[in-house]
Every structure is written in structure tokens, then in C-alpha cells.
Amino acid sequence: MFAGAKFEDANRVRISGCSVPPCKLKRRTKASVEQKFVPDQDCDNIVNSVNAAVLGVPLPFVGVDGTSACENLFNADGTSAGCTLKKGVEYTYKREFPILQIYPTVRIFVYFFARFRASLLEQRFLVEAMVIKRKNNETTDLDGDTLRVGARQSHDHVLRGPGEDHQLRGAARIFWKTI
């Protein structure tokens, strides 16, 4: 491990409404992401960074990218964890976000980041997805199966951007790096 950027059991990621990648993200619906993790050092001031690579161009998810992640962090008992995370304690990151009508109906790669500023850690994972049109008779929330994705750890010191790791099929990847 490098520079203390280690999380135990970090392969516990779930995407709602998705049983097989690419995850189908329906316009005018909501999708949710959940990840359990255990930091190996104290962390605070955590910020969401969610981007989608659309035709090779990274675009932020409106209303999610750049927002505080504090309200998205929960203790193992389901209570709010707030903005300060303690070393060795299990937490769950949960985030729901809208799939807006303006999103193009193309295959995308969604990059989720949780930036832990005080501890200089960055946790991220990549999900292959497709934005699709919602049928008129469908409900407005995604439901059904949940994709539980595997993970692999990267020791890269450079962020991988759109256009890289696109051989991904059937699993999301989680990356950690020092920032």
C-alpha cells in the first residue's frame, strides 16, 4: 500500500436497478450507489465528484458533482456519520442522483469520486452504464435487481480518465490514490 491510501473490504459496491453491466440509467428516473468501506486513517471534509465520459468527454453529473458528501455517509447502524470519519470504523456511502432528460442516450463510463481532503485520500470507482429512454408506463424510480460489483485496487499515482480502462465488462473498478 502507498501513503496510507488503504481501505479494507472496498469491493462492496452496489448500483440500484442494475443486475448486469452496462447499467441502464433511465432518463427521468433516479439511480443510487452504495459502497461500504473502512478508512485506515481519520478523514474529514469529504466532497462528491461524479463525472460521466460521454463520447470521450468528461461531463459532471449536475447537482451531484462538487457537493459535500457529508450527508451521504452513514454508520453501520444506519445513522448519519457526518463529515468526520474515524480510522478502523465501517461506513456506508449512499448517494441517489437524477438521470436528467437532457442526458444523451449513449454508452457512458461514470466515475465516482469521494475526496477525503484532510487526509489527502481519494477513493473512486468506475461503472459502465447506458442512458436510455424511459417508457411512458414505467415508474419514476429505478427498482429491481441490484448490481454488486467486484473491485480491484490500483496503485497508480495518476488518475485514469475517459478513454482508459474501457475493456471493463461485468465489473466496476475501485481506485485509490493520494492527492
Which helix (H) or strand (E) is 93 found in, with range?
A: strand 91-99
Q: What is the DSSP letter of 106?
A: S
The answer to which of 22-31, 45-54, 142-151 has the lowest mean pLDDT is 142-151
Q: Cα 79 to the chain's mean position, in Å?
A: 20
Class of domain 5-128: mainly beta
Phi-psi region of 159 (alpha: psi -120 to 50; beta: other; left: phi over 0): beta
Supply the pTM of this predicted model.
0.61
Over residues 144-149, the mean pLDDT reads: 34
- What residue type is assigned to position 128 of the chain? E
Identify which of 123, 116, 124, 121 has the alpha carbon closest to the alpha carbon of residue 44. Answer: 116
Over residues 21-31, the mean pLDDT reads: 84
Between residues 42 and 148, which one has the greater pLDDT? 42
pLDDT classification of 127: cutoffs 50, 70, 90? low
Identify which of 109, 132, 127 has the alpha carbon closest to the alpha carbon of residue 27. Answer: 132
State the Cα–Cα distance between residues 179 and 174, nearest whole angstrom. 16
The answer to which of 15-19, 31-35, 100-104, 157-161 has the lowest mean pLDDT is 157-161
Beta bridge partners of 95: 33
User: Is the Cβ–Cβ distance between 59 and 132 less than 8 Å?
Assistant: no
* pLDDT recorded at residue 113: 62
State the Cα–Cα distance between residues 84 and 91, nearest whole angstrom. 11
Over residues 54-68, the mean pLDDT reads: 80
